[in-house]
Homo-oligomer: A and B are copies of this chain.
Amino acid sequence: MSARFSKILSALPASTPFVGPETLERMRGSPYEVRLGANESAFGLSPKAMAVLRSEADRASWYCDPEHFDLRELLAAEFSIARENIVVGEGIDGLLGLTVRAYCDPGDAVVTSLGAYPTFNYHVAGFGARLLTTPYRPDCHNDTAALVDLARRENAKLLYLANPDNPTGTFLGRSAVEEILEDLPQHCLLLLDEAYYEFAPDQDLLPVIAEDPRLIRFRTFSKAHGMAGLRIGYAIASRDTIAAFDKIRLHFGVGRLSQLAAAASLGDRAFVATVIADVAKGRDDYEALARDLNIPSIPSFTNFVALDVGSEDRSQQMVHKLHEMGVFVRRPGVPILGRFVRLTVGKTPERVALKERFADAFRSLI
């Protein structure tokens, strides 16, 4: 007598994009001492954003502006584009779901690297599309030639790529991205997840060409701006794409405080510059750790560094040992990347604690 689920949902196996650290803490029975596994910012929020959170807390009883007008005006000015080229949503996660929904009919092909962002893959499955992957290159870069080739062969609707990349930290310069756009098959859209764009070398980043109808770029306040818990991100795309999103997006999905804090943080260039500098120091620290242990690490353009511990088995053991030592880190569980452990940049004391335990765990395993 019960209602029947939709065709897509009826055929969908249970899956979870990420097991949160809180779940792991409940399993181990105590909180982590060091939480450096989800690429959250250790450097907190801009003081200007904090001031807004405090002064506007009692207005959390009001809904947000569903048009996100003021924030989009600020972003438009920042990138010299139109407000109509910007949509604000519940983090990149929410906007990726919206994108898959907007473009994919059930069975449509979508292309990404094997081991790229699980939440994107989750949305592809959730809307009944068909995920096709190609492995990372041996040098841990996205294999852009293979991705484009796969998209072409399968007549893919979407090609997803993070740049700078997660979980590797690698970066594709402007010409590499332009090459993808040139070779992209007809009717295929390039989704550039630029969650870590603030950490990328400025001069190499693809300029924001908002009106290219084959490109959507995803940005977030979760990383350099330190607002992961406020769930706010944005996408830059052609007016047609944004207008289409407006037909289906959750108009009241983003919180009022999130919206105001994001606007305040956007105006605090000095704060973001400090975060970027602090994160660079942190990466140096982790690279020094790799050198001390005589293991490779991937040069990173993000707020994390992936260290090569030699094998998939050892990487698994490392994460398990660190978990037991009160440290939350993650590893990519796929070929080529499987021998890495990914360390988010923490503050100095967190890094000291992590480095010590990482070295101990590593030495106990070799």
Q: Chain A residues in contact with chain B, CB under 8 A?
A: 1-7, 9, 12-18, 20, 22-23, 26, 35, 38, 40-45, 50, 53-54, 57-67, 69, 90-91, 93-94, 97, 101-105, 119, 122, 126, 157-158, 186-189, 213-214, 222, 226-231, 238, 240, 243-244, 246-248, 250-258, 261
Contacts and interface: CB of A to CB of B under 8 A. Distances in A.
B58 A23 contact: no
A66 B16 CA distance: 10
Nearest to A60: B229
Nearest to A158: B3
Nearest to A246: B14
B229 A186 contact: no
Nearest to A108: B6
The prevalent SS among residues of A at the interface is loop
A57 B257 CA distance: 11
Nearest to A65: B22
Given A15-B247, A16-B251, A22-B69, A58 B45 contact: yes
Contact of A61 (B60, B188, B229): B229
Nearest to A56: B229
Q: How many copies does the complex hold?
A: 2
B248 A9 contact: yes
A2 B62 contact: no
Contact of A16 (B23, B41, B246, B256): B246
Contacts of A229: 59-64, 255-257
